[in-house]
Amino acid sequence: MTRIIEDNGVYSQPDYSSATALSSAANYIMNSPEPFTHTFRTYIRLRENGSLTLKFWHSNSVDSTWDLGQDANGSEPGGEWSIEAAYFSDGGSVPDGTLTAGTSVPLTFAGSRTKQVEAGETFWSDEASLELSEGHYLAFTWTIKTSSPGKTLPYNVEGILVSAYDGPGNLAGQESAEAFSLSDKLLVLPSYIGYKKQVAKRLVFLGDSITQGVRTEKDQYSYWAARIAEGLGTDYGLWNIGSGWGRAYDVAADGPWMNKAKQGDEVLIVLGVNDLDIGQRSAEELLRDLSDIIAKIKEANGGAEVILSTVPPFNFAEEREQAWRKVNMEILTNPPAGVSRVFDIASVLAMPAPAEHRIRAEYMSGEYDPHPNGTAGKAVAEAFLAWY
């Protein structure tokens, strides 16, 4: 079977698997009126702890469109910036901004502790070894420097799902939390943190905020992608590239987000809510975009299996409800060419007919917010694992 591998894409390092179920897909870009030097520290629960060999891969591009694209568009390249310092550390059992003393391991890039990042570039760090105690978080800290104003660093601006801190200046080598502040809507991470691990299968979960896990409780990993990863066990790799406000037409444009999706042996696609909502796509347009995505994945890797999900219920009304119903009926009865299986996430989350376009009240993140909560994450994960 055909497999097209980017020279420095994730598949160029076959000994590595995604170390976390957390998504760090980029849906926004820093746009500063002046140059800056700033440090970002993020606490991540890994799929395994102990003696680890780690490295990261990064794509300096926006994956998906934010809002109507006034500030960030899918496939928009990031600007020029530099990594002044980067470290993996034992973050301890409480993500409070501090590091376990003496555990920080500096990261290098082709042997250098700094890295000049070009517009739209993809690149790997060198590998680094770290002993991470059971029950402890991995802390990733890096200092980013820009040399000019304007758009530079892509990141994720959705409601943050993990504890993260940031502060002015070069604080990357600092073990204390001094000068750091708790971050909000500011997830600044590499695109992929991998650990040396042979897996039976590499799964990529491609979706929007519902796949990302937005609105679930911070540091709890209660969204369904994380729960599925836990249920499958570490013989299965899982790379979550869910991106808040993402839509199918962002992926179908065949840019950086699509290139990530092409890296999987198996790709689960859960898209469509934002296409029908803010994207104002018709049922026919959404189905065409989904077909294009599947065709491009299969073209890149003929052996890849594609699981297409129904579009989750999102309390649509009137024309959008009718489009939602039409798309899901088509997915269930006549899925696009190249689909291996269909997972009906809508039936897990939905109210009984005839109100199946509405999410069950107990699964909503808030009284008026139809994003699935952690209880919904548990229900979806249990249904998926039983079905899978």
Q: What would the pLDDT profile of 102-113 be if each residue is shown by its tens digit?
A: 999 999 999 999
The per-residue b/e assignment along 255-273, b for 16 or more CB within 10 angstroms, e otherwise, is bbbbbbbbbbbbbbbbbbb
pLDDT at position 1 is 43
Residue with tokens 């409601």: 159
CA distances from 147 to 79, 142, 143, 153 (A): 10, 17, 13, 12
- Identify the sign of the CA torsion 210, 215, 220, 222: negative
Question: Rounded to whole angstroms, how far apart are CA atoms 322 and 31?
Answer: 38
Output the six-digit token pair for 379.
Answer: 């229900």
- Alpha-carbon torsion, ordered 258, 184, 177, 83, to 10 deg: 30
In sequence order, the β-bridge partners of residue 31 are 151
Tens digit of each residue's pLDDT (9 = 90 or more) over 291-338: 999 999 999 999 999 999 999 999 999 999 999 999 999 999 999 999
pLDDT < 50: residue spans in the chain: 1, 5
Kindly report whether the global pTM for this prediction surpasses the value 0.95: yes
What average pLDDT does the structure give for the chain?
A: 96
Radius of gyration for the alpha carbons in the chain, expressed in angstroms and rounded: 20
How much is the pLDDT for 3? 53
Q: Around Cβ 304, how many Cβ atoms within 10 Å?
A: 24
| Backbone torsion region of residue 169, taken as left when φ is above 0, otherwise alpha when ψ lies between -120 and 50, otherwise beta | left
Handedness of CA 358, 361, 362, 366 (dihedral sign): positive
Bond before 354 cis per omega within 30 degrees? yes
Residue 86 is inside which H or E element, if any? strand 81-90
Q: What is the largest CA-CA distance in the chain?
A: 61
Contact 306, 298 (CB under 8 A): yes
Region of residue 323 (phi > 0: left; psi between -120 and 50: alpha; otherwise: beta): alpha
Sign of the CA dihedral running 88, 224, 66, 96: negative
Question: Are residues 56 and 130 in contact, defined by beta-carbon separation less than 8 angstroms?
Answer: no
The neighbouring-strand residues paired with 38 are 144, 168
Give phi and psi for 282, each to the nearest 5. Answer: -80, 165
